[in-house]
Amino acid sequence: MSPNSKKRAYQDGCAVAHALDIIGDRWAMPIMRELMLGPKRFTDLRAGLPGISANMLSQRLEELEAASIVVRGRLPPPAASQIYELTDWGRESEIVFQVLGRWACRSPTMEPGKPMSPVSVILSMRTMIDRDRIGDLDAAIGLRFGEEEFRVTLKGGDCLIDRGQAAGADAILSGDQNALVAVLYGGARYEDVHGALTIEGDRALAERFARLFPLPPKAPSMVSAG
Amino acid sequence: MSPNSKKRAYQDGCAVAHALDIIGDRWAMPIMRELMLGPKRFTDLRAGLPGISANMLSQRLEELEAASIVVRGRLPPPAASQIYELTDWGRESEIVFQVLGRWACRSPTMEPGKPMSPVSVILSMRTMIDRDRIGDLDAAIGLRFGEEEFRVTLKGGDCLIDRGQAAGADAILSGDQNALVAVLYGGARYEDVHGALTIEGDRALAERFARLFPLPPKAPSMVSAG
DNA sequence: CTGTATCCGTGTTGATACTG
DNA sequence: CAGTATCAACACGGATACAG
């Protein structure tokens, strides 16, 4: 395992310092992010975390397990492969990701256009949804990103977004999640990303849906006159 | 400066990944924490960050400045020494610290008793204050930790905690901030830490004050049978 | 296929010493 | 007081080999 696991730790009673001791290492939070919407296998995790090495992932999963953030499970037979899953407390960290994401998306140095994993996109929608804009919308939107399917349920002024069947929704968007990001946050129209994203069903609903996720204004840059 | 600053970055459009790119490096968030209540000099920062090396602090301050989180300033003459201070946007990250702290203080592996800086203690109080318990309390509590003074203002069911004169408050607690932590969060009574913390003024107020900061329940440990 | 263990080049961190 | 320089130790990332 970890023969001489001398973890470098802040010797600090501050709860934030403890948080950094357990989830502050490189890749720890992105791994948690990928698990936020449900269990994944080792290889699925790697797919959502471009650039991570098998070593890193293996080691971080051990550490997250030791911290009671992740538990190992096994899929029911016959596909009895190992899966990793957040604990209840691990799942409760979603609010941390939301608040951190809301703060960071105002960063003057954040440059758009970099690829996002399907889970990132879904979590960003959960974060940025403006419930005031839902109004009396009562509809379901299905999202298909490769093998992964999600469902957005708008009802009673609230919005639920989770894994679920896209089929049967009033509108279904299929294709590359990055194309959807361009539409939701990048000011693009569906026509602009045509070919990367296809729309089935209620087109007007898809248009209204695309405007439910406003971005907050950027913070001013303080670097060499701003 | 930074001759070959090849920063290792997540190539990820996720806002959380960007957050980690700019404040995910070791010591970045503790430095921000120390600046959260106002500007500090280099040496003051080191005092609140036991274990940090001078070059780390220097390098992180550069990076935080480049990210528009920190700006360099200068105290008015004659004490024209350099100070570091959060930008408006940097100060808006306090909510991140609060949410992260609230989540992390439930960690099964968090062990109490480690020392905290005066700023940490004040921020923890801002985080954990239970406004429902304030009731109709209308009073001021002064806190003195070494050279640093703070004031807690309870009024109209709300609570303001900031740097400010301790003198003139209805009750004044002076001494070691870690002793106050033991009383607020560790279940200790003032008598238990006598000598480390002295109380002037309204003793009953000090007692009521000490119960305004309840801790949430711990999350269960998932390690080897829980 | 699903991971784990080991080696190795490189960058980051931390301790000490030193300078304006 | 406010940092910079130097150097040793370690963490990271990639490749490869290995085990169930």
Closest to A68 (Cβ–Cβ): which among B68, B127, B219?
A: B219
Is B224 exposed, middle or buried (CB count within 10 Å of its CB: 0-12, 13-18, 19+)? exposed
pLDDT above 70: residue B177: yes
In this prediction, residue A225 has a pLDDT band, given cuts at 50, 70 and 90, of low
pLDDT of residue B8: 82
> B143-152, pLDDT tens digit by residue?
999 999 999 9
Enumerate the nucleotides of strand D whose atoms come under 7 Å of any protein CB: 1-6, 10-17
DSSP assigned state of A224? S
Supply the pLDDT for residue A189.
97
- In terms of pLDDT, which residue wins out, A76 or B222? B222
Minimal CA separation from B1 to chain A, in Å = 15
In this structure, whether the domain defined by A11-92 belongs to CATH 1.10.10.10 is answered with yes
Do A71 and B107 make contact, defined as CB atoms within 8 angstroms? no
The gap between A133 CA and D1 C1' (Å) is 54
Mean pLDDT over each residue of chain B, to the nearest integer: 93
Residue B6 pLDDT exceeds 90:
no
Q: Do B19 and A99 touch (CB under 8 A)?
A: no
SS (H, E, C) chain B: CCCCCCCCCCCCCCHHHHHHHHHCCCCHHHHHHHHCCCCECHHHHHHHCCCCCHHHHHHHHHHHHHCCCEEEEECCCCCCCEEEEECHHHHCCHHHHHHHHHHHCCCCCCCCCCCCCHHHHHHHHHHHCCHHHCCCCCEEEEEEECCEEEEEEEECCEEEEEECCCCCCCEEEEECHHHHHHHHHCCCCHHHHECCEEEEECHHHHHHHCCCCCCCCCCCCCCCCC
Tell me how far CA of residue A116 lies from CA of A33, A106, A123, A145, B24, in angstroms: 12, 17, 11, 11, 18
Q: Which residue has the higher pLDDT, B212 or B1?
A: B212
Residue ranges per structural domain of chain A: 11-92, 98-209
* Separation of B69 CA and C20 C1' (Å): 28
Q: What is the mean pLDDT of residues A105-131?
A: 96
- In the structure encoding, which two tokens stand for residue A51, read together? 């650039």
- Nearest-by-CA chain B residue for A186: B13
**Residue in A closest to B186 by C-alpha:** A13
Q: Helix A28-35 and helix A94-104: axis angle, to 10°?
A: 120
Q: Is the CB of B2 under 7 A from strand D?
A: no
Distance from CA of A4 to the nearest CA of B (A): 19
Separation between the CA of A60 and the C1’ of C8 (whole angstroms): 21
- Give the mean pLDDT of A39-67: 91
pLDDT tens-digit profile of A208-219?
Answer: 999 999 999 999
Pick the residue from chain B with its C-alpha nearest to A33.
Answer: B16
Query: Is the model's pLDDT at B2 over the cut of 50?
Result: no
Closest by Cβ to B104, choosing from A19, A29, A50: A19
Which pLDDT score, from 0 to 100, does residue A80 have? 65
Best to test chain B binding among A7, A103, A184 (most B CBs inside 10 Å): A103
- Write the pLDDT tens digit of every residue in A121-138: 999 999 999 999 999 999
| pLDDT of A223 | 85
CA distance B38 to B79: 17
pLDDT in tens, B95-149: 999 999 999 999 999 999 999 999 999 999 999 999 999 999 999 999 999 999 9
- Mean per-residue pLDDT over chain A, rounded: 93
Q: Which one, of B214, B200, B142, B144, lies nearest residue B153 by Cα? A: B142
- Residues B21-41 have a mean pLDDT of 96
Would the CB atoms of B15 and A115 count as touching at under 8 Å? Answer: no
Q: Which nucleotides of C are covered by protein (CB under 7 A)?
A: 1-7, 11-17
Q: Please name the residue whose C-alpha is nearest to the C1' of nucleotide C13.
A: B56
pLDDT at B225 over 80: no
Architecture of domain A98-209: 2-Layer Sandwich (3.30)
Comparing CB atoms, the residue among B10, B11, B96 nearest residue A100 is: B96
Looking up tokens 């991570």, which residue turns up? Answer: A52
Q: CA end-to-end span of chain A, whole Å? A: 50
- Per-residue pLDDT, averaged over B6-33, amounts to 92
What's the pLDDT score for residue B75? 74
Residue B197 bridge partners (DSSP): B175, B194
Q: Hey, of A14, A49, A126, which one would you mutate to test binding to chain B, going by the most B CBs within 10 A of its CB?
A: A14
At A163, is the pLDDT very low, low, confident or very high (cuts 50, 70, 90)? very high
